[in-house]
Structure formats: structure tokens, C-alpha cells
Amino acid sequence: MAYFSRLMVRTILGALVLAPAAAYGQSSAPAGVQFNGSEDKKAARQIPPRAVPSSAASSRPRRPVRRGRSNLAQAQVTPDPGRVRIQSQDRKGYSRLQGRTVAKPPAPLPAPPSLNVGIRNQMRKFIQSISKFTRRYNQNFGVVTQGGLELLIKRDPVVGTRISPARAYIRSIDGVIKDGLFFGKRVFGEPPPDEILARHLRLMDIAKANGLRVLVVDYGTDPKTADESRRRNKEKGYVSITAPVPLADLNSLPPYPRRPYGENAKSMLSLNNVSNFAYISNSKAFGRADEFALKMHGTNYDLLIVDVYQGRKPLSKQAVATLKYKKLGARRLVYATVDIGTAASFLYYWKANWGEGSPMWIKAPVRDDPDSYHVEFWRPEWQRIIAGDTQSYVYGIIAQGFDGVVLTGVEEAYRFFEGAEQEEEAPGQ
């Protein structure tokens, strides 16, 4: 009886050991057991190798992966259509954006070390007041600034690299002039450093993007330089000339080309129509005022920029009227220059008792020009001389029949009070 009891216990235990293996489709024989029958060997051959568990495998069954479903760890993430995912970046400043190569955004314009936001804002206000004054007498009177490209942007007083367009100022002017853009005046006829060129181009593109006409005076004496300047400026949408001497000494038309680039028979209604221009700082070399006017009348430039004074006397209304027509008979624009940053001891407004410090707003003489003095341009006394009433400089230009004014001495004025007189802005400025 005890024998049968022990046999029954062994049978039950054996069934308990073999039941899990049978449930998972595995062999009922434990490791090390020899198969005695051919049927057992055949069943063993039908078991897939990966189904044979190792001694370290979990006893829990694996959940089968259904077909048609992807593993989340291997699935590709679809980017949000409202965002751009940067995939890679090379060393040349270009990025790979979802398979496309795009230019890296330009770096912010660093602020000049000597930057004085208040001084520059005073110059903007001065120019805006001049523009407002001219519109009082002629709604179509043009105002162009020479230099002072930094005035086109406003900088955050705390974060100097944070900039925005100076929109009120930009709306008060019609164009800008930059001299020495591609071929400079410091080293005459030579290109400026790449960093300075890039900086000026960014500022001029801001002007162009905001509807201002961009004029360029490059420097050089050979036809190759003139042609290259023309090509590069035309690519940027700028109107250019190549002067053989610095602007302050410019007393003749460019020797090359003999006829202006883009010569045409159209009448000029606004600065935006201009395809070429000529700049004459000193017309005395042409003879009397009437002789100068007739010689200019024999050209087909779209725009003439001249000094209102021809020697000691201003150009007459008749001379200005003659300058307004091309040789082909079409109407052109004639602008006069006026320096708003320095006072000249040879002009009509200068008084006998004036000099450095007398009155207090007259400062040191201009370097290399002892007959001109820096002035505190924000002073009401000086601003009235320039554009305050019917006795002012700008009013006289309007009364003589000019179509517009080119304001010179802008950059030199504010940089003098920033302590950076006559310095070329460095790449980091």
C-alpha cells in the first residue's frame, strides 16, 4: 500500500513538471533526458530553435508583435509643419534644413564702442525737422543724406546688438549717399576690408528695403575700376558713379565713361526714376555760373548734385533752371548740398566776432579744414541758421528752384561728439 502511495505522488509531481513545457509548445523532456522513441525525436525536430528557453529566460510568455504595427523606438518622427528642424551644420556658415542648404542668418550688428544713442537721436531729429521745413514750401522737395548710415537703425540702449529700423527718420528722407563703398577713399581706389564692406552693405540694404534710393560714389581713375564699380552696384540695385578725386575736391565730370551709364531721354519725376547722376562739389573750374549751367546742360545725367555757391555767389534762378534740362530736352533733377555739421567762416551767416567758443556752440576747427568749425548741431541757434525761417540756408535753396537737398557732414558731426572724429568704423563697430 505504501508502495502505491509513493508511485502516485511521483506521477503527480512528474505531471506538474511537464505541464508548463507542454503548454508553451516545448519538449516535455527536461534537460539531459534521452529520447527513446522516434515520435519523440520527430517532435523535437519540429520545435523552433528560438523557442527553446535557456535556464535564465523568464517564465512569462512573450507577447507576439502583430504585423502592420511599427516599433515606436524605430519609428520616424514627422516634424511639426510649423517648425524647421536643423539636421546638420557645416563650417562655412550654412545649415542643412530638412534636406535643403540655406544661408546662416546674419550676425547682429555690434554697437560702436563710442556709441552715444542720445547724440545720434539728436541728429535724426535735426534731419526730420529739416525735412518737415522743406515740405512746408514744396511737398515734392527731396531730402538725401550723405553718410550717417547708422542713423537708419535704432539700437537698444541696454542690448546694443538689438536693432530695429528708425522708421520715423526713414520716412523723412528720400535717399542716402555712400562714398567709397566698393572702392574707397582712405586708400584711394582700393576695396575696403571685407568686414567693413559687409557692414555697409547691410545698412544700405536696410535703406533699399525701406524704399530709399541708394546712391554710391566710388573712387578710381581707370576704366576697369569704373566698370567693376558699375557692375557691382547695379547687382545690388544701387546707382553709382566713379570719381577721380575725393568728393571735397570734385570739380569736373568723370573722365570715364564719356557718356553716363544708363543714358536715357526720360524726364525724371522723382529720385526713384534716376539711373545715373553727376556730383560737382566746386563748379568754379567751369567758369561763370552761366557757363557752368550751359556745360551741364550739354549732358544727359538724370540727377545733378552741386554746391549752391559758385565761388562767392549762389547760383541764380536762371542758372538752376538751365541745369534742370538734359541735352536731349528731358527734365532732370537738380539737388544742392548743404553741410549741417560744420559752420564755414566764408559763408553768409558767419559773423565777424565768431570763432571757436564764441558763441559757445561753435567748437574746434575741422581737421584739415581750419576755415570750418564743428558745431553743437542740436542747438536751436544753429538749427535756425540751417532751416528755421525764410532767412535760412535751406529756404534759400528752395527759393532758387532746386528740386532737393543733399545733407552733408552728418556722420562727421555725431562722431566728433562721440570722440571718434575722422575714424573709419572698424569691423567690430
Residue range 354-372: mean pLDDT, rounded: 95
Q: Quote the mean pLDDT of the chain.
A: 81
Q: Is the pLDDT of residue 363 over 60?
A: yes
Q: How far apart are CA 145 and CA 152, in angstroms?
A: 11
pLDDT tier at 369, thresholds 50, 70, 90: very high
Q: Of 151-160, 189-198, 347-356, 363-372, give the lowest mean pLDDT range.
A: 151-160
pLDDT tier at 100, thresholds 50, 70, 90: low
Instruction: Let me know: does 50 contact 24? Beta carbons within 8 Å.
Output: no
Torsion of CA 296, 402, 251, 387, to 10 degrees: 180
Return the half-sphere exposure (C-beta side, CA atoms, 13 A cut-off) of residue 162: 4
pLDDT of residue 422: 47
Q: Is the pLDDT of residue 20 over 50?
A: no
pLDDT tier at 117, thresholds 50, 70, 90: confident
Residue range 302-317: mean pLDDT, rounded: 94
Residue range 110-137: mean pLDDT, rounded: 86
Higher pLDDT, 156 or 362: 362
Q: Is the pLDDT of residue 263 over 60?
A: yes
Residue range 204-214: mean pLDDT, rounded: 96
Residue spans of the domains in the chain: they are 117-341+377-417
Q: Is the pLDDT of residue 98 over 50?
A: yes
C-alpha cell at 409: 557732414
Higher pLDDT, 221 or 30: 221
117-341+377-417: in CATH 2.30.30: no
C-alpha cell at 64: 507576439
Q: Is the pLDDT of residue 220 over 60?
A: yes
What confidence tens digit (pLDDT) does each residue in 41-76 have?
A: 444 444 444 444 444 444 454 555 444 444 433 444
Q: Spell out the residues 6+ positions from residue 50 whose beta carbon is closer than 8 angstroms to its own.
A: none
pLDDT of residue 419: 86
pLDDT tier at 163, thresholds 50, 70, 90: confident
Rounded to two decimals, what is the model's pTM? 0.74
pLDDT of residue 185: 85
Per-position b or e across 162-185, b if 16+ CB within 10 A of its CB? ebeebeebbebbbbbbbbbbbbbb
Q: Is the pLDDT of residue 212 over 90?
A: yes
